[in-house]
Structure 1
Amino acid sequence: MALNQRSTPTIAAFLALLSLGAVCACRRQSSGDLAEGQTPASLIITSSSFANDDRIPQKFTCDGAGLSPDIQLPSPPSGTRSFLLVMDDPDASGFVHWIVYNIPPDTHDIPEGASSGGRLPAGAAEGENSINKAGYFGPCPPPPSPHHYVFRVYAMDKTLDLPAGETKKDLADAVKGHILAEGRLTGLYTRGGG
């Protein structure tokens, strides 16, 4: 069957939509959650910097000072030996913005600016983010759509015997089967004030 000139753009558009659907389906399968496949108890994570599902203030982004926000941790469940914090952007294929592990279980607050200000809890280590640096990298999405930034906190039944600077991939194997509880805090940011 020969294709006429009118059907060629239609077929091309159909193939483009089909491939976009395949990419979106693949992205949905990777949630970025280290507890995937497990059923941990729930933790309630809060912040004095922003409310859940609210806009992240500019000072915590690449458009501001790039400070790490305040993260408030709950009392841990019995058996907790450490907390793990992972901040990523699921709208950017799980771009990792911040990892902190071996947070002592008696920690109730990671203060604003802790990453750059040397104010992490004693014994905690920062992992490598997606720009290949240890520490916090604030939201910096391309305009115009808002991106969601998910702060996941895991209560672990062990401390991780890992050096500072580990990646999320490195942590995935180390935490498997050791997550007691998980909590999430989500913030949104759009460049240009949205």
Structure 2
Amino acid sequence: MGQLTTSTRAGRVAVMMTAAALTFGVAGCGFASSEATVIAEINVSSPQLRDEAPLPADYSCKKPPGVSPPLRWSSEPLPRAKSIAIVADNSAPSESAVHWVLYNIDPRTTELGEDAASSPPDDSGQARVTGGKAGYEAPCSPTGNYRFTVYALSGRVDVKEGAPLPEILKKIADQTIARGRLTAVHIE
């Protein structure tokens, strides 16, 4: 690998800080607040992924085109939910990156098929991820911890087209009322 440029280093730092902020914000951890926010749980599954098992090569850069995996989710009734967001990231500290952010999914939706990133649900949006691509950027690191997190939100993610990733992630964190996660431990 070549040397990192200043902008690449700054981008990685921004992604790590954003991921930390999203984690703390969604978990209800606040440095200035003593009240924790209660976050309901969403059960996330997939016909192709198993929690804590390897990410199948079809959903990685190892087997082009590396499409987004099918996902399903369920929870207790969430009458306050106004939209759903999905964030796929690599949580390995040395290689953290965001691979997919799909937001403003209709709250009645409970699953997405394989390659939903190429044909996203009506009225949804996809963020430009760490690598600069809008949509699903197939993971490449064989040792990553790839997390597919589903968030139920109290509102829509209201951003202008092309909004920066940190802004979109913050809006997701600020509106989260429920979440669930499916984690692949590396690429098969």
2:10 aligned residue: none
The separation in 2 between residues aligned to 1:176 and 1:88, in whole angstroms, is: 15
Quick one: structure 1 residues 175 and 147, their matched pair in 2 at CA, closer, same or farther if it must change by over 3 Å?
closer
The number of residues matched between the two structures is 160
Partner SS, residue 74 of structure 1: strand
How far 1:44 moved relative to its partner?
0.5
Coordinate RMSD, CA, aligned: 2.3
Q: TM-score, normalised by structure 1?
A: 0.74
Report % sequence identity. 27
Q: Which has the higher strand share?
A: 2
Looking at structure 2, the residues matched to 165 and 187 of structure 1 have their Cα atoms a distance apart, in angstroms, of: 29
1:72 and 2:69 equivalent?
A: no
Q: Do the aligned partners of 2:86 and 2:103 also contact (CA within 8 Å) in 1?
A: yes
Structure 2 gaps, min length 5? 1-15, 30-36
Q: Distance in 1 between matches of 2:69 and 2:180?
A: 16
Show the counterpart of 2:100. Answer: 98
State the structure with more CA Rg: 1
Question: Does residue 1:125 correspond to 2:88, yes or no?
Answer: no
Aligned 8 A contact 2:103 2:124 in 1: yes
**1:33-52 equivalence runs, <5 A:** 33=23, 34-36=25-27, 37=29, 38-52=37-51
Matching residue of 1:9: none
Q: Secondary structure at the match of 2:43?
A: coil
Q: 1:126 to 1:40 in 2, by over 3 A?
A: same
Give the number of the structure with larger relative contact order, counting CA–CA contacts within 8 Å between residues 6 or more apart: 2
In the alignment, which residue of structure 1 is the partner of 2:109? 107
In structure 1, stretches of 5+ residues that fail to align are 1-25
